[in-house]
Amino acid sequence: MRERWIRPGAERGPVSLLDELAARGFSVLRGDDAAALALEEAARAPWTFAERLLGARPLLVERQPIKAVPGGRSFAASSVAAPLHTDSQSFAGAPPAVQIMACVRPAERGGGCLLLDGWALLSTIERADPELFDALFTVYRRIPFVFGDFFGPTVSLRGGALSFTHAPVVPPGDAIAARLARSVEASRREVIELSLDAGDILVVDNRRMLHGRRAFEGGAREFVRLLVWTEAQLPSPRAYHALAAQVAEAASRRLAAAPPATRRRLGLGAPPPAEARRRLGLVLEMLRGVPPGVLAARERIPEPHLYRLRDAALAAAEEALAGAAEGADDGALAEAIARMSRG
């Protein structure tokens, strides 16, 4: 399915954009809609760009250039086709809520962006292969990515939000990943292919949509990718959310004695208090250069308090990094997964 989605003359803003993400999992801004956002800001000031686009301050923003370079081996740094997958890097136990792809320049030939709706895929699997559908929610497994391994069910609650996790490569011996890959391949007619021009912006519900890319020729293709963690959650199917919540509750009881770091990486850790998250947000703003005076005025707190928060956060980070930098080691996670698989 090929599609160039254009809404000439339509008014755009955070509300309509979020409505589009809720309805179909993605949105494309073109022409005046994209130009109004000042595309270069995505690379120069990604936090500000994400806030203006989404209408709320992010919890975290990760920026990465997507451009082929000599000797590049990853999908982000090469011109090869990227199989459908999810971006599942974790912050506070959850993957990014939104992926933003800002097109600096398209490829000379090829390079189309590919999207597949994970919720629609689950619905298809539920009808066609109930056994696989159940396994996607209930089987705890290791899912390898370039950025590090993910541990947990394919579909799970992360930070309270329903999240679909799928690696671009099937790990050897992983029967669930192999069956899921066949289901993804069988849904190729449902894949949306988007051709983006310079200045266009693709916004994706990253916890819902699988994404990929066609191979391309001509090394000029360049995007700025932003992964954005937000406080607000996009909607997901209620039945699937409820099923994932039941699985998480049962797993939390069975793994109650596991180390906190292990539980956190399995998505079972208790969410941080709202006030703690707010304070961390202030520290992150200070670290990225927002003037303390601006923050003090906006939050109505004394500047010395901001500096005490920053010192406390950095001291805690330094103490944590002086020990086991990995947090939960893979051995403990493997043991937890084995415990879950023993029934």
Which pLDDT band holds residue 7 (cuts at 50, 70, 90)? very low
- Asked if 176 and 139 count as a contact pair (C-beta separation under 8 A), the reply is yes
pLDDT at 72 over 80: no
Q: Which residues contact 91 (CB under 8 A, 6 or more apart)?
A: 59, 60, 229
User: What is the tally of structural domains in the chain?
Assistant: 2
Query: Any alpha helices (H) in the chain, and if so which ranges?
Result: 14-24, 31-35, 40-44, 46-54, 118-128, 130-138, 175-186, 238-254, 260-265, 274-287, 292-299, 303-322, 330-341
Same domain, 174 and 68: yes
Same domain, 318 and 182: no
| Dist CA 184 CA 154 (whole Å) | 13
Which pLDDT band holds residue 343 (cuts at 50, 70, 90)? low
CATH of the domain at 111: 3.60.130.10
Same domain, 165 and 42: yes
pLDDT at 45 over 70: yes
pLDDT in tens, 78-134: 888 899 999 999 998 899 999 999 999 999 899 999 999 999 999 999 999 999 999
Average pLDDT, the chain: 89
Same domain, 145 and 201: yes
Same domain, 230 and 292: no
Same domain, 92 and 177: yes
- Asked if 134 and 76 count as a contact pair (C-beta separation under 8 A), the reply is no
Same domain, 287 and 230: no
